[in-house]
Every structure is written in C-alpha cells, then in structure tokens.
Structure 1
Amino acid sequence: MKIEVIVPGCARCKKTAQNVESALEQLDAIDATVEKVEGQMEIIDRGAMHTSAVAVDGELQTEGEIPDVDRLVEVFRSA
C-alpha cells in the first residue's frame, strides 16, 4: 500500500503526518510506504483541493482536515 501525506508544511499538516505514523504503528503488520507530497504542483496533480490530505494507492481518503488516528486505522485497514 502506498500512502501519500499531502501537506504544504503547515502545523496542521505536521499533525496529520504524525497521525498517519501513529496509525501505522498500531497496524504494524501492514506493508505500507509513506511519501510526503509537499510541492504545490504535486498537490494539485493529486487532486487535493484542500490540505492536509491523505491518499491511499492514489485515491484521496481525507481532505481539508486533520484525521484522527482511529479514522486513519480504519482507512488503512479497508484499503
């Protein structure tokens, strides 16, 4: 599974990245790679209209919010 944390670098975005890492720690058996997408053009290319956003295998799962760890665990399990 490829997880993209789509963030321009703001404080909200840093919290989203931390929550992604915490969720993955809870799911230690999941094989996942995490990539931060920070460039403006890359963010636009991913289709994210609002940051912070999280995509799994190229599909946006959250956008314009700081998803909590429990929600991310659910998203990653179902992917």
Structure 2
Amino acid sequence: MSLFGKKKEETGKRNDSPIKVLGSGCAKCNQLENAAKEALSELGLDPSIDHVTDFAEIATYGVMSTPALIIDGKVASYGKVLKKEEVIDLIKKIRG
C-alpha cells in the first residue's frame, strides 16, 4: 500500500471510497469531481469517488456550502471548485 492509500487493485466497492464530493450534482460539483478523479489518477490511486447528493448526509459533515471535498472523512474544502493540483496538495497534506 502506498503512502496515499489503496492502489487500484486493493480497493473495494465504490461506496467505500475515501474521497467524496458533496453537492447537488450541479456543474461546479461535477467539475470538482473531475478534478479529484484526475488528481487520484495522477497519484496512481483508484479514481473512484462517491458523489453525495443527499442533503441530509451532506449536513452530517457540517457543510453548508457546496461543492465540498471530503478526504478520509475530513472536510478538505467547501464552497469552491478546486483545480487538480489543489486536490493533489490536499490529499498529500491530509494523508501525510
């Protein structure tokens, strides 16, 4: 296993993904999801991401502004669309 989590062949089901995008499915949410997938691919990680659209579940993270990016259960960003490089930096920061 790498420093950044599970490699593609080690991952389980999609809903076990440690990376989540929270949002209604709007264009900005989809842009963040695409940037996160690109970042994961560049890091050699499984690009599977959960896109959570249920507002009750979103609220459990304390997020009131979407899109939001969750990495390993931690709110990494909310209220803006990140670029791929920004997502990479956040993954490295959170995962050490």
Q: TM-score range with shorter-chain normalisation?
A: 0.7 to 0.9
Q: Which has the higher strand share?
A: 1
Structure 1 residue 71: deviation in Å? Answer: 0.6
Q: Percent identity between the aligned chains?
A: 26
CA RMSD of aligned residues (A): 1.6
Report the structure number with the largest CA radius of gyration. 2
Partner of 1:14: 30
Measured in 1, the distance between the counterparts of 2:70 and 2:46 equals 15
Higher relative contact order (CA 8 A, sep 6+): 1
Partner of 2:74: 59
| 3-state SS in 2 of match to 1:76 | helix
Instruction: State the TM-score, normalizing by the size of structure 1.
Output: 0.88
Long gaps (5+) in structure 1:
none
Aligned pair count reads 78
Higher deviation after alignment, 1-10 or 58-67: 1-10
Structure 1 residue 33: deviation in Å? Answer: 5.2
Instruction: State the TM-score, normalizing by the size of structure 2.
Output: 0.74
Measured in 2, the distance between the counterparts of 1:53 and 1:9 equals 11
Residue by residue, what CA displacement relative to the aligned partner does 1:10-65 show, whole Å, maximum 9, x if unpaired?
1111101000001111100x467521111110111121110000011111011000
| 3-state SS in 1 of match to 2:77 | strand
Runs of 4+ more than 4 Å apart: none
What is the letter of the counterpart of residue 39 of structure 1? Answer: D
Long gaps (5+) in structure 2:
6-17
